[in-house]
Amino acid sequence: MENEREESCDVAIIGAGLSGLVAARELRKAGLGVQLFEKSRGLGGRMATRRLGEAHFDHGCQFFTVRGDLFREEVAVWEERNLVAPWFNHLDPQGEASLLPERETLRYRVAGGMTAVAKFLGQGLPVRRQHTISALRRKKGHWELSFAEHGRTFRAPFLLSTAPVPQTLALLDDDEAPGIQPALEPLRQISYAPCFALMLRLDQQPRFSPVGFFAPTDHPEIATLADNAAKGVSSRLGAVSILSTDTFAEANFEEDPDDVTEKLLLASRPWLAGCEVLESSLRRWKFARVVVSHPDRGWLVSPQGLAFAGDAFGGQPRIEGAYLSGLWTAGEIRKIFATR
Ligand SMILES: Cc1cc2nc3c(=O)[nH]c(=O)nc-3n(C[C@H](O)[C@H](O)[C@H](O)COP(=O)(O)OP(=O)(O)OC[C@H]3O[C@@H](n4cnc5c(N)ncnc54)[C@H](O)[C@@H]3O)c2cc1C
């Protein structure tokens, strides 16, 4: 998957989350040279799975839904390959999830964890991991990308960013990309809420729902609890992911992680009765959920060879929205290259 020889390409893509991977795949299909840069070690971005001891946890996105035909076609391929499966389609008034015949919107789980989808999409794509874009400069019709990890640079006539929009905007200043600011103004309204994900390895399997998902109604601290063993993510029993509410994360974001863990453990006691915590790990997501999105599916600044995609676009701030944004934006970039 790594390709260290190519030091330039047609389109450089920041981020190997769902939207970046889908865009890269589509651009490749159209015959364009792409290169993905990802700051993390793994693919998937907020579709994140990690190990704690021998247990596995989804610690970002917990499930996804399918509303439109385009995404339905893609999910059908994932389902054929046994990557994804229906998880639940009903939440009772307390928040206990179950899979019933013909109920509300179906929520899908990813067998083996969310990152399995990203690994599938990333097959054959050139991704440079642990490459954090730290500076962007527009020079003689090219973007020059600099990295936090080393002093090398990379050049491409076109740049697509799928990183959180405020982070990309912070990299685009007027000195390094003259004249670009007015085109970026509509993106300054985009905002995100933070979230804590607490992963708990327990001595036994908790019993909070037959399918392993609970979303307590109007709880001040806890948004969701997921049992990764019941979900088919962890072969080890006693692997629970707890997501905080936005309000709790906002109020406690800078607090000591041990204090946050204590607070979330206390709040989740009713669902973990009788279980002993063997190990815990807290993940802080600064840009977890899009609160204010942009109505367009993506954003193009064509004269300067720049585009934005991701779940912040199209008014559907979730997995399906990220997928559609990657797809749409790649289509627009293809059109630009076709006229060059
Ligand atoms: C806790 C949590 C729970 C969620 N629950 C759900 C859910 O139940 N259902 C649902 O549909 N959606 C859910 N989501 C949202 C869903 O995960 C996102 O909508 C989707 O994954 C976004 O994909 P993306 O490609 O737009 O962005 P991302 O997945 O965020 O991808 C962006 C990528 O860019 C990389 N990056 C950032 N900056 C740089 C840089 N400077 N250099 C290089 N790389 C960089 C990041 O590491 C990341 O891999 C949840 C998200 C979180 C965090």
Residue with the two structure tokens 């204590």: 262
Assess whether pLDDT exceeds 80 at residue 8: no
Cα separation of 339 and 91, whole Å? 50
Q: pTM value?
A: 0.96
* DSSP category for residue 275: P
> Are 115 and 48 spatial neighbours (Cβ–Cβ below 8 Å)?
yes
Assess whether pLDDT exceeds 60 at residue 4: no
> In this predicted structure, what is the pLDDT of residue 102?
74
> In this predicted structure, what is the pLDDT of residue 13?
98
> In this predicted structure, what is the pLDDT of residue 337?
96
Q: Which residues pair with 13 in a beta bridge?
A: 36, 160
Residue with the two structure tokens 């109007």: 218
Indicate whether residue 154 lines ligand 1 (CB < 6 A): no
Measured in Å, residue 335 CA sits from the centre of ligand 1 at 26
Assess whether pLDDT exceeds 90 at residue 2: no
Indicate whether residue 14 lines ligand 1 (CB < 6 A): yes
Mutation test of ligand 1: which of 46, 117, 169 has the most ligand atoms closer than 8 Å to its C-beta? 46
> In this predicted structure, what is the pLDDT of residue 276?
97
pLDDT digits (tens, 9 = 90+) for 98-129: 999 877 789 999 999 999 999 999 999 999 99
Residue 100's alpha-carbon distances to 88, 90, 91, in angstroms, are: 7, 7, 10
Q: What is the mean pLDDT of residues 194-210?
A: 95
> Are 43 and 115 spatial neighbours (Cβ–Cβ below 8 Å)?
yes
Cα separation of 339 and 85, whole Å? 41
In order of their start, the domains of the chain are 11-41+129-190+293-338 (3.50.50.60), 49-119+191-291 (3.90.660.10)
> Are 227 and 89 spatial neighbours (Cβ–Cβ below 8 Å)?
no
Residue 24's alpha-carbon distances to 27, 163, 314, 334, in angstroms, are: 5, 14, 19, 11
Of the candidates 144, 131, 114, the one whose C-alpha atom is nearest the C-alpha of residue 4 is 131
Mutation test of ligand 1: which of 318, 324, 327 has the most ligand atoms closer than 8 Å to its C-beta? 318
pLDDT digits (tens, 9 = 90+) for 217-267: 999 999 999 999 999 999 999 999 999 999 999 999 999 999 999 999 999
